[in-house]
Chain A
Amino acid sequence: MNCNEVHKQILFFAEATAHENQMQEIQKHLTACNECNSLYINILTNLKNIETEKTSQSDELFFEQLQAKLNQKQKTNANLHLHSFRQVLEPLKIAAVIALGIFLGVLIGNSSEQTVQTEQAQTETYSLEDEFTKEIYFAGNDLAYESVEEYLTETNSQNK
């Protein structure tokens, strides 16, 4: 086995998963080749590094800290719900104020229109009555109905 062939199997050799005959050949090569042997040691160190990274003991404070985080999250969630409820409520409030304004506007508008209409109706009734009494009043009095000056001016202009 040459160096290149060893390099292609070195990790499997380091974790002892290569084929048995290959394991023996690599082992033979490593005893003869210093470079490959140092490569093997480095790779083995890296694989052992995984073991040192792993947790072997359970942390006693883990659950207490987890519970504190959970409570904190629940509080934050409750605040978020309240906040989102407020966010929904805000445009509703504005819409309600606008609707109330429109309603009041319409109400005031209607009432003032009614007043105007009543006043107009009253005026109309009055003038009709007035005209009627005039008619009666002037029925036998043409002079009172048509002024003398006006009558004369009109006849004068007709004569001319």
Chain B
Amino acid sequence: MNDQELLAQIQNNDQLAFKELVKRYQKAVVNTCMGFVHNTDDARDLAQEVFIEVYQSIAKFRGDAKLSTWIYRIAVNKSLNFLRSHKKNSLLKSIEQFFKGEKNTHYEIAHNQSADSELLNNETAHVLNKALESLPENQRIAFVLSKYDEMPYAKISEVMDISVSSVESLLFRAKKNLQTKLVHFYTNKPKIN
């Protein structure tokens, strides 16, 4: 059964078809979320939120994009929203800790400005994740879709709604930025660029 047939059956309230859809996209959605949040439980919860959103709005899905593209877009948006709310919460927590006189253990208040210095304080296993977090949003999306979902450029361009050459350029810049940050971290010397 292809995606179109599956879609038609789900729109007719076929629960088995929805189960099939979840089975088909579960791994991909979890991996996409994992690429942003780097935590198995959070990625799993987010993936479930993605499928809930799919279930609730599938009746309104007009089929302008492919079903898979639509699902990936929801996954990316949910993950980015999760990160934004997480950042807000951690900022509030940091302020609360500051006023309570506690030491800030995990997240920095000025997260974006101190991304480089933060890299130095984290374990090696988290270096790439931290470097990824400091990338501009569109570069990060392109990198995650490429590396975590092993998506071809054409598919990334569909999900991000940009041209293939823009995807190439975004990925190149993302890798360059990551390389700069990683080299800086491991050699502990000024940036190359």
Contact = CB atoms under 8 A, between A and B. Distances in A.
Interface of A: 4, 7-8, 10-12, 15, 35, 38-39, 42-43, 45-47, 49-50, 53-59, 62-63, 65-66, 69-70, 73
A124 to B, nearest CB: 76
Nearest to A57: B27
Interface in B160-193: 175, 178-179, 182-183, 186-187, 192
Interface in B113-155: 124-125, 127-128, 147-148
How many chain B residues sit at the interface, stated as a range, is 20 to 34
Contacts of A4: 192
B147 A11 contact: no
Interface of B: 19, 22-23, 26-27, 30-31, 34-35, 38, 43-44, 47-48, 51-52, 55-56, 124-125, 127-128, 147-148, 175, 178-179, 182-183, 186-187, 192
A55 B187 contact: no
A55 B192 contact: no
Contacts of B19: 63
B52 A73 contact: yes
Given A62-B48, A69-B48, A42 B30 contact: no
A38 B43 CA distance: 32
Contact of A63 (B22, B31, B43, B183): B22
A43 B147 contact: no
Contact of A42 (B43, B47, B178, B182): B182
B179 A66 contact: no
A146 B66 CA distance: 114
Contacts of B175: 11-12, 15
Contact of B52 (A11, A62, A70): A70
A117 to B, nearest CB: 66
B127 to A, nearest CB: 6
Main secondary structure of the interface of A (DSSP, over half): helix
B74 to A, nearest CB: 14
Nearest to B19: A63
B128 A50 contact: yes
A56 B125 CA distance: 20
A7 to B, nearest CB: 5
Nearest to B177: A11
Given A53-B148, A65-B48, A58 B128 contact: no
Nearest to B20: A63
Contacts of B55: 70
Contacts of B38: 53
A69 B187 contact: no
Nearest to A15: B175
B26 A59 contact: yes
B34 A66 contact: no
